């Protein structure tokens, strides 16, 4: 009887480790501070337009992507046909979206709703990329060269962004953390490695430009990036000290599209025109792909290509609009020239960018082992680790899975067995009291087996 109860407890514990927040699959009235009165006396009331129920995207909480406690939750959209038996081997394009500072949170069901509304008083700020997905998924299906593509969308939430504050150490997600997210996404889904696309606004734009600028190998891993409302200055000490340079983007021939308001001062100080220097430097690299560049104007009457009506830093409420298609010929003497004739929105433009030689993850971080066996995939992160490690399962069908943790001699330390659903699950294993050294995680399902060597610091 005790053995039965023990097995039941293990199964129950394993099932609890599936982090989907299915019980709170909506975002309604999620900012209790409304109505908000600004310093000028303007009052913003809560608009039902900002509510989403039921949601097209799913929430996942209790994560620790990369093991450094920056990303604790995320939302994802997966097209229904991903799970069709006929598509069991099909690989999908993915757009990974990184938010701005006002949408920070620890990944709880309530805090994840900030990805839609940004918490601020800006009346247009609710039109973030996840907000666009909730309003319509039409643009997530694209046909190009007679082939139909359906995007997967992943929007992780980070919890802190401390940068350049006097007397306070910097703590902000940058290139390495974006790397962790990409690894996590590739482990969860059947992703076409030639079609990984990154976008982000404000802090999120900083992350993706710093990722792409950190090395040629990293820039070669993704097909295209779209930084919106960028504030990370190319030659700032935060970047140069880490080897983050625009030339890496140019050398990788990475496709880029910068969107920015001409009056944006990134929250304080002078207007810096941050994207200009990135674009200038990329274009100086022989053979580089010319960036797309859309500079929003602060003019009347307002158009789609105007700066936001209530927050000049906000270019994202425009950039992710499916009607937003114009980019301009960029010249150093005048950043806004004639329409360059591309005339494609983000969704159309991304799918046309194919990474013909994506860099292998092993080139980027040899400590992250990933094993793909038949139609199921498993990745173990972080590695090396300090106290806790997670096995991320991506299963082609519901099945029994057993996870054994042993030391290097084969001595069993921990065993977890459970039935896991088709799709994605996370299983955490704790070695807080174990000595430093090398361990093995052995994962066995009904149609796959996988062994991973892990190192405890």
Per-residue pLDDT tens over the stretch 142-168: 999 999 999 999 999 999 999 888 888
The answer to whether 268 and 233 are in contact (CB under 8 A) is no
CATH code of 391's domain: 2.60.40.2550
**Residue where the block lists tokens 């005048």:** 334
- Alpha-carbon span 431 to 1, nearest angstrom: 28
In terms of DSSP bridges, do strands 36-37 and 43-44 run parallel, antiparallel, or are they unpaired?
Answer: antiparallel
Residue 421 within a domain: yes
Residue 2 within any structural domain of the chain? no
How confident is the model over 130-141, as a mean pLDDT? 95
How many CB atoms lie under 10 A from the CB of residue 394? 21
User: Average per-residue pLDDT in the chain?
Assistant: 85
**Same-domain check for residues 344 and 443:** no
Q: Which of 340, 362, 384 represents a domain boundary (last residue)?
A: 362
Where does residue 107 fall: left (phi above 0), alpha (psi -120 to 50 degrees), or beta otherwise?
A: left
In a domain, 61, yes or no: yes
387 and 252 in a single domain? The answer is: no
Residues 6+ apart with CB under 8 A from 321: 127, 132, 304, 345
407 touches 436 (CB < 8 A): no
405 and 346 part of one domain:
no
Same domain? For 194 and 177 the reply is yes
For 433-442, the pLDDT digits (tens) are: 888 888 889 8
Provide CB contacts within 8 A for 178, sequence distance 6+.
98, 198, 207, 208, 210, 211
> Exposed, middle or buried, 338 (CB in 10 Å: 0-12/13-18/19+)?
exposed
In a domain, 416, yes or no: yes
Residue 12 lies in a domain: no
For the stretch 210-257, pLDDT in tens is 999 999 999 999 999 999 999 999 988 888 888 999 999 999 999 999
The pLDDT confidence band at residue 23, using thresholds 50, 70 and 90, is very low
pLDDT the model gives residue 354: 94
Residue closest to 416 by CA, chosen among 445, 396, 379:
445
Predicted pLDDT at 122: 54
Q: Considering the domain boundaries, does residue 56 fall inside one?
A: yes
Domain count, the chain: 2
Q: Tell me the pTM.
A: 0.76
**Boundaries of domain holding 352:** 18-362
Domain boundary among 313, 336, 362: 362
Q: Report the range of poorest mean pLDDT among 14-23, 50-59, 151-160.
A: 14-23
Whether the CB-CB separation of 222 and 196 falls below 8 Å is answered with yes
Domain identity same for 282 and 415: no
Q: Is 266 among the domain residues?
A: yes
Is the same domain home to 195 and 295? yes
Q: Is the pLDDT of residue 73 over 90?
A: yes
278: Cβ contacts below 8 Å, ≥ 6 apart: 209, 230, 234, 246, 249, 258, 291
Do 343 and 401 fall within a single domain? no
Give the helix/strand (H/E) hosting 318.
Answer: helix 316-319
Query: In terms of domains, do 378 and 265 share one?
Result: no
pLDDT band at 124 (very low <50, low <70, confident <90, very high): low
Q: With respect to residue 104, please indicate whether it lies within any of the assigned structural domains.
A: yes
- The three-state (H, E, C) secondary structure of 176-190, written as one string: HHHHHHHHHHHHHCC
Residue 295's contacts (CB-CB under 8 Å, 6 or more residues apart) are 260, 261, 262, 328, 335, 336
Using the 3D structure, point to which of 362, 389, 405 is the last residue of a domain.
Answer: 362
pLDDT of residue 378: 76
Write out the two tokens for 405. 């943790």
Q: Mean pLDDT throughout 271-288?
A: 92
Are 266 and 275 within 8 A, CB to CB?
no
Higher pLDDT, 11 or 203: 203
What CATH number is attached to the domain comprising 273? 3.40.50.1820
The 10s digit of each residue's pLDDT in 408-438 is 878 888 999 989 887 667 888 888 888 888 8
Indicate the DSSP class of residue 11. Answer: H
- 303 and 244 within one domain: yes
């Amino acid at each position: 009887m005790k053995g039965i109860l023990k097995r039941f407890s293990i199964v129950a514990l394993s099932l609890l480790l599936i982090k989907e927040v299915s019980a709170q699959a909506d975002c309604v009235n999620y900012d209790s501070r409304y109505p908000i009165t600004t310093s000028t006396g303007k009052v913003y009331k809560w608009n039902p337009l900002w509510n989403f129920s039921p949601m097209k995207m799913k929430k996942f909480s209790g994560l620790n992507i990369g093991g450094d406690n920056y990303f604790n939750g995320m939302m994802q959209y997966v097209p229904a046909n991903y799970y069709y038996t006929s598509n069991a081997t099909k690989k999908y394009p993915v757009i990974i979206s990184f938010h701005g500072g006002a949408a920070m949170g620890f990944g709880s069901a309530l805090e994840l709703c900030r990805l839609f509304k940004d918490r601020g008083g800006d009346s247009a700020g609710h039109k973030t990329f996840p907000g666009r997905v909730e309003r319509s998924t039409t643009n997530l299906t694209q046909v190009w060269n007679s082939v139909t593509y359906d995007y997967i969308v992943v929007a992780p939430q980070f919890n802190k962004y401390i940068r350049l504050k006097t007397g306070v150490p910097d703590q902000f997600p940058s290139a390495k953390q974006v790397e962790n997210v990409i690894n996590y996404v590739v482990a969860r889904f059947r992703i076409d490695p030639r079609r990984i696309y990154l976008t982000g606004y404000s802090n999120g734009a900083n992350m993706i430009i710093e990722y792409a600028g950190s090395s040629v190998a990293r820039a070669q891993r993704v097909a295209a990036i779209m930084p919106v409302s960028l504030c990370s200055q190319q030659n700032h000490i935060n970047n140069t000290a880490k080897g983050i340079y625009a030339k890496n983007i140019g050398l990788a021939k990475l496709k880029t599209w910068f969107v920015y308001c001409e009056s944006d001062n990134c929250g304080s100080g002078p207007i810096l025109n941050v994207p200009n220097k990135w674009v200038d430097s990329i274009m100086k690299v022989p053979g580089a792909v010319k960036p797309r560049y859309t500079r929003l104007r602060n003019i009347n009457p307002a158009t789609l290509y105007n700066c936001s009506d209530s927050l000049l830093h906000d270019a994202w409420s425009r950039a992710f609009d499916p009607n937003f298609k114009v980019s301009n010929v960029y010249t150093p003497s005048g950043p806004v020239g004639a329409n360059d004739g591309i005339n494609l929105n983000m969704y159309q433009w991304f799918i046309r960018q194919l990474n013909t030689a994506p860099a292998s993850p092993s080139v980027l971080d040899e400590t992250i082992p990933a094993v793909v066996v038949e139609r199921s995939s498993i990745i173990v992160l972080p590695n090396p680790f300090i106290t806790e490690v997670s096995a991320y399962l991506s299963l082609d069908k519901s099945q029994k899975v057993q996870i054994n943790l042993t030391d290097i001699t084969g001595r069993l330390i921990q065993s977890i067995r459970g039935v896991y659903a088709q799709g994605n699950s996370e299983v955490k294993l704790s070695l807080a009291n174990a000595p430093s050294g090398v361990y093995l995680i052995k994962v066995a399902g009904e149609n796959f087996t996988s062994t991973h060597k892990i190192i405890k610091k």
